[in-house]
Structure 1
């Protein structure tokens, strides 16, 4: 048992509706038969994503691979960043590690979004990101070994 008032107070033109029960009809969304929206790619398995050749499915497939690869990659990357000097604080290396982590996942998520729309090739860009971070992790892990110290000393002295 309620009233519904429609109109503007300035014009004093109102429509008043009295009702006991109020119902609204919601029509289901109609999809085209060739639309990508029919398939919810987030619900598909990894093998089904690999077989499906739509941009959204490919982007989701490489996003999942990146999530799997990111765990050991980030662990390999933070090993040299966890070493701290006694004169530095324990948290001195957290900011670079957080920034590297943030840039990695922002790049990956923007590539997933653009690849899902068909703007980018997800295979190429996900390999570039993961390979780039793997090379950075190797460089950071080798930065303080004996060979690199001699190499840096040689170039600094000359």
Structure 2
């Protein structure tokens, strides 16, 4: 790699790094807000927010890598052209073929990272996210039992803790706890008040909530009577939550599971994983000629057409993926039809316009027209 190629490579790589960092910061902030919202509603423990956020990185990187490289090439090459650097490079013999060689090297690096994220890291991380959330919903110790919150445990039972204390050895100590039970056909509604309580697992793995020095108010029963009981210790089993689990998504399955399943949705997901790295190659090679602008027109002269092509590509790809998953479109050619169409309609024709062969052919055609006249 000569000096000019290294200069172009470093400039595009630095630009991509900056764009990738900004995009990841924006989308990770949105994801963080989403998890914080779920934690504030008690759907997930607050302690899991950082883990869930970290596990979202590969999924976000799948979408940010193509866009960051696309914009980096558009901005860097456009800057070279607007500042007449590309004119100087061409004057010393730096051809369009060499420029494509540098871009291809960047494409290969990004495709390798994308394949690792798409086919391996992202499914594992999403599956891990689902396991953590479902475990939190099933494990009573991981419920958001915070001070000043009403926590629905199971059925008609609701717990309110005025002061959630610290963890002492193997159990959690709580102060001033209230348990509300709506009752059913065989039992009357009740309110249990205790000055202190603790929660722990026993040897059999059952989760127990123990209330200490409290009062239980029951009623009215069928006869309209009330009952008041005093206790030094009251123990109750807190059952695991059996419902409300998040369903497993197709994106959480491994490649082997997708191939063995044979459903339309699984085939659509598998095709999408294959198409994503191909997309990087198609779109980045497509944007190279769009980055070549006249210095008088400015570096953003072709920015809007490039963005429209990029958005249209993904709209078509997502549309085909949804149609395949619903069984409305055949698996083959499936999503592969989108990169093939864009390759022959945009990428190849646009790149041929900057070649010596195209210029000679155009000059020969013009000469032929003049001779005929």
TM-score (norm 1): 0.70
Match of 2:359 in 1: 149
Q: For the Cα contact (< 8 Å) 1:111–1:122, is it kept in 2? A: no
Q: 2:329 corresponds to which residue? A: 120
How much does 1:88 deviate? 0.8
What SS does the corresponding residue of 1:122 show, helix, strand or coil?
coil
CA shift in 2, pair 1:22/1:116, >3 Å: farther
Inter-partner Cα distance in structure 2 for 1:153 and 1:52 = 56
Return structure 1 stretches of 4+ with deviation > 3 angstroms: 20-23, 26-29, 153-157
Displacement after TM superposition at 1:100 (Å): 0.8
Which protein is richer in strand relative to its size? 2
How far did residue 92 of structure 1 move? 0.7
Match for residue 79 of structure 1 among 283, 288, 291? 288
Matches within 5 A, 1:2-81: 28=243, 40-81=249-290
Report the counterpart of residue 137 of structure 1 in structure 2.
347
Aligned CA distance change for structure 1 residues 144 and 41 (closer, same or farther; 3 Å) = same
* Secondary structure of the structure 2 residue equivalent to 1:69: helix
Is the contact made by 1:41 and 1:60 (CA closer than 8 Å) also made in structure 2? Answer: yes
Looking at structure 2, the residues matched to 28 and 118 of structure 1 have their Cα atoms a distance apart, in angstroms, of 30
Structure-1 residue corresponding to 2:319: 110
- 5+ residue gaps, structure 2, are 1-179, 184-240
Gaps of 5+ in 1: 1-19, 30-37
TM-score (norm 2): 0.32
Cα 1:48–1:88 change in 2 (3 A) is same
Task: Report the 3-state secondary structure (helix = DSSP H, G, I; strand = E; otherwise coil) of the residue aligned with 2:336.
Answer: helix
1:68-88 CA-partner distances (Å, limit 9, x unpaired): 211122111111111111111
C-alpha distance 53-39 of structure 1, shift in aligned 2 (>3 A): farther
CA contact (8 A) 2:275 2:335 kept: yes
Q: Would you say how many aligned residue pairs link Structure 1 and Structure 2? A: 129
User: Could you tell me how far 1:156 is from its partner in structure 2?
Assistant: 4.6
Could you say which structure has the greater relative contact order, defined with CA pairs below 8 angstroms and 6 or more residues apart? 1
